[in-house]
Amino acid sequence: MSIWEYANPVKFMRVSGAALPWIAAAAAICLPAGLVWGWMTPEDYKQGSTVKIMFLHVPAAMMAINIWVMMLAASLIWLIRRHHVSALAARAAAPIGAVMTLVALVTGAVWGQPMWGTWWEWDPRLTSFLILFLFYLGYMALWGAIENPDSAADLTGVLCLVGSVFALLSRYAVNFWNQGLHQGASLSIAPGERMSAVYKYPLYLCMLGFFLLFLTLLLVRTRTEIRRRRTAALLAREVRA
């Protein structure tokens, strides 16, 4: 039993179809629970009630980066092993990642206005997120522009590889360019606690909720893509007959 068996569309459809309601239900429980729990946390002594934006901002930012990494992995699997499900999953993930990036940027702006006194600052973290958003846009535009699905998958795969290198490069280049206003990582594995448990556990729940939400949307979108591909194949067969 190898993981590559799930690359078979039929098997993927069966397994994902069975798992989808459970994942969706878990997301539907975790996300509202985490957000409500976050809403009820006490106000921060310095940030006041704006600290609660964190429960949207941090998970969205985390997912924005991780979705790109997932697309990179899926593109590599497509380029190396030519599993169609993988390419379709990368395609399905891109708009979700773009929306997550946008959520992180907008919630950051809403938080930054009262806290930093500005909606936008050319800070390394903010700038590299904007660049990441541009990469998402370019990736989706390339998918949309090419008609042949296999060529589109190949070309977007190559773009994803090159784009990953340059997104990472930009991340460190902007560090060089401007000193940051953004605080360091909110969570850290290192000892030396930064965040009170009052905020930490609801944040973990929100992260789990965002991840499950992404998984749900990804599976729904990938299944739709597979079905659309099948319909197109059936129609093409009918035209030929």
Partner 1 sequence: MIALLMRDLRLATRAGGGFGLGLAFFLIVCTLVPFGVGPQGGTLALIAPGILWVGALLACLLSLDRIFALDWEDGSLDLLATAPLPLEGAVLVKAAAHWITTGLPLVAAAPVFGILLHLPGAAQPWLVAALALGTPALSMLGAFGAALTVGLRRGGLLMSLLVLPLYVPTLIFGAEAVRRGAAGGDGTTPLVLLAGITMAVLAAIPFAAAGALRVNLR
Site for partner 1, rule CB under 8 A? 131, 134-135, 137-138, 141-142, 145-146, 151, 154-155, 158-159, 161-163, 166-167, 169-170, 173-174, 176-177
Please provide the size of the chain in residues.
Answer: 241
For partner 1, give the closer residue by CB, 170 or 222.
Answer: 170
Helix (H, G, I), strand (E, B) or coil at 44: strand
- Please identify, using beta-carbon distances, which residue of 146 and 220 lies nearer to partner 1: 146
CB of 141 to partner 1, least distance (A): 5
> Are 122 and 140 in contact, with CB atoms under 8 Å apart?
no
**71 with 93: CB under 8 angstroms?**
yes
The smaller minimum CB distance to partner 1, of residues 151 and 188, is found at 151
Q: Which is nearer to partner 1, 20 or 79 (CB)?
A: 79
> How near is the Cβ of 29 to partner 1 at its closest, in Å?
38
Task: Tell me how far, at minimum, the Cβ of 156 lies from partner 1, in Å.
Answer: 9
Please name every residue paired with 48 in a beta bridge, in sequence order, or none if there are none. 44
Nearer to partner 1, 36 or 137 (CB): 137
In the complex, minimum distance from the CB of residue 136 to partner 1, in angstroms, rounded to a whole number? 10
Could you tell me where the beta strands, DSSP code E, fall in 23-163? none
Q: Nearest-CA neighbor of 139 among 127, 149, 153?
A: 153
Q: What are phi and psi of 64, to 5 degrees?
A: -60, -40
CB of 172 to partner 1, least distance (A): 8
Which residue, 51, 24, 69, is CA-closest to 209? Answer: 24
